[in-house]
Amino acid sequence: MIPGNEPSFRESVDLMFNHAVALMDLPPGLEEKIRVCNATYTVRFGVRLRGQIHTFTGYRSVHSEHMEPVKGGIRYAEAVNQDEVEALAALMTYKCALVEAPFGGSKGGLRIDPRQYDEHELEQITRRFAYELAKRDLIDPAQNVPAPDMGTGEREMAWIADQYARMNTTDINARACVTGKPLNAGGISGRVEATGRGVQYALREFFRDTRDVEKAGLTGKLDGKRVIVQGLGNVGYHAAKFLSEEDGARITGIIERDGALFNPHGLDVEAVHQWLVKHGGVSGFPDATHSAEGGAVLEEECDILIPAALEGVINLGNAARIKAPLIIEAANGPVTAGADEILRDKGTVIIPDMYANAGGVTVSYFEWVKNLSHIRFGRMQRRQEEARHQLVIDELERFSADTGIGWTLSPDFKQKYLRGADELELVRSGLDDTMRIAYQSMREVWHDRADVLDLRTAAYLVSIDKVAKSYRAKGL
Ligand code: NAD
């Protein structure tokens, strides 16, 4: 995907890192220690399928262990390779630091097209891969905790958790060995939607400060903004759905593997998603024009562009033609280092991946904590909170009756106020808080430092500083 005259994904991440550390004052050697990937394990294993042995290649990369466990998703895609896994692991280090999730960075990948296998075959392959990783402590609640990424989801995470539990029968914290599990297998409410939800919260925070909105040459709030999304998978679907259904944004373009849909009046995200699930592509969807050349739709007029599929899609080949004034990198690494420079010069504002898609790891953090504490969030407080709110309502109503002022509380207020928060509400609240605070830390650097011209550099400065402080505290 990345044209040959551009650096690889990992080199791109390194270039962006180097650009940021040049503005910092790190002790000699520490900069290099933070930048390099600590270790990458490559495994080749065989699985007997359809009467013959198939060999698969997988990776698990550990970028930084300044905090443990290390954390990062497992990707299933044909293009998976060591360079990509290392780039993604590095991004995990910076991402976790930025959103204050207490993890080092890691990432895994299996070179496979999951669509070529049925469910039973995928289970066999996943269990074998998990076995190979767990055997080397590359899956472990205290050392390395994977999560879903492109091509994987709750189902694969449940298989991994079960495989680990079978191999570690006395580990009481076994469920914390992986996150993104289904609710009935130790998952947490709101994890599936988390990354897309985080993109929504990130944009809301961006639009709260008129200075930022003006920097992108935009005005107003999210309501009515024209949005183009690439990739209607886990991240893209949830981001597009929430932005259109809850914030009034208009999804004018959706780009998928088999081309793009365009409708200036706005697409019905739920309907497109159902069509995609049923037909395996977006072609043939009514109420929109379909263009076979999906990538070209990245260059259409819109207010917000959300690349939510894969890396390197905005590169030297098309950066100059991108019209969106605001890009939010829901995918990891969708903008190459070269394109980043072109866009910065053009004045395009980019909300960088390490922040924009951190909702996933944030809620994964909550899930890990839930697994270690062996109790659902809100279980102890919810009814007590409701009882205390009931006391306030009773007192207000008594006061109204006693004084004869005839004041009544609306049923809607009473219902909302009386309801104690369940796990989903707590997760969303924690995610919203995390996304706001992390954005504010980037914004501060972006506005306060004359030598920081973009949010990506600001994000790197904040996160590298945190990683450096961890290393210093450890005595390195
Ligand atoms: P996914 O597999 O659920 O969805 C990816 C979507 O992109 C699919 O609908 C696929 O058909 C589409 N796609 C693939 N190639 C395409 C192409 N060339 N053009 C247009 N569409 C294409 O994956 P996901 O989990 O949504 O991950 C997407 C991105 O978000 C990845 O970069 C991933 O690393 C990143 N991310 C995911 C999570 C998470 O929680 N799932 C968290 C952080 C970051």
Cβ-count burial 107-127 (b if 16+ within 10 Å, e if not): bbbbbbebeebeeeebbbbbb
Q: How confident is the model at residue 474 (pLDDT cuts 50, 70, 90)?
A: confident
Residue 153 Cα to ligand 1 middle (Å): 11
Tell me, yes or no, whether 435 and 451 share the same domain. Answer: yes
Number of domains composing the chain: 2
Tell me, yes or no, whether 125 and 213 share the same domain. Answer: no
Tell me, yes or no, whether 175 and 73 share the same domain. Answer: yes
Task: Supply 313's token pair.
Answer: 């899609």
Assess whether 107 carries a catalytic annotation.
yes
Task: Look at 196-210, 351-365, 392-406 and tell me which has the smallest mean pLDDT.
Answer: 392-406
Q: How confident is the model at residue 407 (pLDDT cuts 50, 70, 90)?
A: confident
Tell me, yes or no, whether 249 and 168 share the same domain. Answer: no
Q: What is the spatial distance between Cα 40 and Cα 82, in angstroms, rounded to a whole number? A: 8
Instruction: For residue 446, give the amino acid letter.
Output: W
Question: With 80 as the cut, is the pLDDT of residue 254 above it?
Answer: yes
Tell me, yes or no, whether 116 and 254 share the same domain. Answer: no
| Nearest residue to 303 (alpha-carbon basis) of 251, 256, 246 | 251
- Assigned domain for 357 exists: yes
**Can you tell me which atom of ligand 1 is nearest the CA of 358?**
43
N residues, the chain: 476
Q: What value does the mean pLDDT take over residues 438-450?
A: 97
pLDDT of residue 2: 54
Tell me, yes or no, whether 82 and 17 share the same domain. Answer: no
pLDDT of residue 4: 62
Cβ-count burial of 416 within 10 angstroms (0-12 exposed, 13-18 middle, 19+ buried)? exposed
**Can you tell me which atom of ligand 1 is nearest the CA of 334?**
32
Cβ-count burial of 301 within 10 angstroms (0-12 exposed, 13-18 middle, 19+ buried)? exposed
Q: Which domain holds residue 153?
A: 39-187
- Boundary-marking domain end, from 155, 187, 219: 187
- Assigned domain for 401 exists: no
pLDDT of residue 3: 59
- Assigned domain for 387 exists: no
Phi-psi region of 280 (alpha: psi -120 to 50; beta: other; left: phi over 0): left
> What CATH number does residue 98 fall under?
3.40.50.10860
- Assigned domain for 360 exists: yes
Task: Supply 339's token pair.
Answer: 């394109």
- Boundary-marking domain end, from 134, 160, 187: 187
- Assigned domain for 413 exists: no
Tell me, yes or no, whether 254 and 311 share the same domain. Answer: yes
Is residue 344 within 8 A of residue 454, CB to CB? The reply is: yes
Q: What is the pLDDT of residues 322-346, one digit of tens each?
A: 999 999 999 999 999 999 999 999 9
- Assigned domain for 394 exists: no
Share of the chain above pLDDT 90, in %: 96
- Boundary-marking domain end, from 134, 166, 187: 187
Is residue 319 within 8 A of residue 347, CB to CB? The reply is: no
pLDDT of residue 475: 79
Tell me, yes or no, whether 129 and 273 share the same domain. Answer: no
Q: How confident is the model at residue 114 (pLDDT cuts 50, 70, 90)?
A: very high
Catalytic pick from 95, 107, 215, 466? 107
| Locus of tokens 């009473």 | 414
Q: What is the spatial distance between Cα 421 and Cα 426, in angstroms, rounded to a whole number? A: 6
Residue 151 Cα to ligand 1 middle (Å): 7
Helix axes 382-403, 411-418, angle to 10 degrees: 150
Q: What value does the mean pLDDT take over residues 427-449?
A: 98
Tell me, yes or no, whether 90 and 180 share the same domain. Answer: yes
Q: What is the pLDDT of residues 415-431, one digit of tens each?
A: 999 999 999 999 999 99
Tell me, yes or no, whether 160 and 201 share the same domain. Answer: no
Q: Cα 144 vs. chain centroid, distance in angstroms? A: 18
- Assigned domain for 242 exists: yes
> What CATH number does residue 247 fall under?
3.40.50.720
Tell me, yes or no, whether 204 and 315 share the same domain. Answer: yes
Q: What value does the mean pLDDT take over residues 111-136?
A: 98
- Assigned domain for 471 exists: yes
Q: What is the pLDDT of residues 55-101, one digit of tens each?
A: 999 999 999 999 999 999 999 999 999 999 999 999 999 999 999 99
Q: How confident is the model at residue 316 (pLDDT cuts 50, 70, 90)?
A: very high
Question: With 80 as the cut, is the pLDDT of residue 465 above it?
Answer: yes
Residue 326 Cα to ligand 1 middle (Å): 20
Q: How confident is the model at residue 28 (pLDDT cuts 50, 70, 90)?
A: confident
DSSP 101: -
Q: What is the spatial distance between Cα 117 and Cα 137, in angstroms, rounded to a whole number? A: 27
The ligand 1 site (C-beta within 6 Å) comprises: 148-151, 195, 230-236, 255-257, 294, 308-310, 330-332, 357, 360
Residue 18 Cα to ligand 1 middle (Å): 27
Tell me, yes or no, whether 140 and 162 share the same domain. Answer: yes
Q: Cα 278 vs. chain centroid, distance in angstroms? A: 25
Round the average pLDDT of the chain to a whole number and report it: 96
Q: What value does the mean pLDDT take over residues 148-177?
A: 97
